[in-house]
Amino acid sequence: MMRALRDSLLFFMRDLRIASTYRTPFVLELIEALFASASFYFVARFVDSPALRASLPQGSTYFAYSLVGFIFFDYLNASLDSFDRSLEEARDSGTLEPLLVTQVSLPVILIGSAVYPFLVTTVRIAVYLVWGALLFHFPLQAANWLSVLLVLVATLLAFCGLGIFSAAYLLLFKRGNPGKWLFLSIASLAGGMLFPVTILPDWLQVIARLNPVTYALDAMRAALLDGATVPQIAPKLLVLLVFGVVLLPTSVLGFSWALQRTKITGTLSHR
């Protein structure tokens, strides 16, 4: 366990040193977060109406509702994209093959490569929330932070498996997984990113009820906007944990098979 933690820390320090040489993008992201939060605020002023407000969580506004959806999808995108990006960067820099033949276990390599992107995403989301609270009255004081933390962990466990499957696809076929973008498109429509799923047609509401993104977003909004306690969101957390328990081990096995396949065919470092 200590060795795994040490190896994950080394991966993080590597990514942090690389990022520290590019300071301008960090400043630009701060400015981008301000303008993105402002955009949601002014869109909310345009579309907020009594009819729409009735379908939102009690006491919430469309601005708060949509901003939570936006930052959640930032996390979802990180879950699906971080493993692909780390794999591509290692392949382009020529370090992929030496890395994968080391004594570091495959799960540690996958987890370690994702630590930095997830922490950066967390910081970016915190910036969005701070801008929203300082300038546009986002109700941070209503949040139950323990519930928020548990939802984030359950969400990462639930969706990282999809990201690892996507990395296995990249390893085998040397190109991005189109299924990842299809999933994000369906999730944004039938997951409640920018509007409640209750306003969807009945057949799309069926898809929404089968979509784990719906449960993750409902739990996140309940924790952030309504201060929901852990017992109140426990059923939604259970759905996400079951999804993660099934998907994570199978995705690691799938990635391991893809890795062995590329070693046999000699295409591990091919682009």
Q: How far apart are CA 226 and CA 59, in angstroms?
A: 8
Give the distance between the most distant pair of CA atoms in the chain. Answer: 62
Residue 179 maps to a domain: yes
Q: What is the mean pLDDT of residues 192-207?
A: 78
Q: Is the pLDDT of residue 28 over 70?
A: no
Residue 197 maps to a domain: yes
Interhelix angle 2-20/106-136, nearest 10 degrees = 50
DSSP secondary structure letters along 1-36: -HHHHHHHHHHHHHHHHHHHT--HHHHHHHHHHHHH
Residue 270 maps to a domain: no
By mean pLDDT, which of 71-80, 108-117, 155-164 is the weakest? 108-117
Distances from the Cα of 52 to the Cαs of 137, 176, 205, 208, in angstroms? 19, 38, 17, 19
Total domain count, the chain? 1
Q: How far apart are CA 69 and CA 192, in angstroms?
A: 7
pLDDT value of position 229: 92
Residue 211 maps to a domain: yes
Residue 258 maps to a domain: yes
For residue 85, the tally of other CB atoms under 10 A from its CB is 16
Residue 219 maps to a domain: yes
Q: Is the pLDDT of residue 39 over 60?
A: no
Residue 271 maps to a domain: no
Q: What is the 3-state secondary structure (H, E, C) of 147-206?
A: HHHHHHHHHHHHHHHHHHHHHHHHHHHCCCCHHHHHHHHHHHHHCCCCCCHHHCCHHHHH
Tell me which residue of 111, 87, 84 sits closest to 99, measured CA to CA.
87
pLDDT value of position 146: 92
Distances from the Cα of 110 to the Cαs of 85, 94, 161, 206, 248, in angstroms? 11, 17, 11, 34, 11
Residue 255 maps to a domain: yes
Percent of all residues in the chain with a pLDDT value above 70, rounded to a whole number: 65
pLDDT digits (tens, 9 = 90+) for 147-174: 999 998 888 888 888 888 887 887 777 6
Model pTM? 0.72
Domain that holds residue 195: 2-265
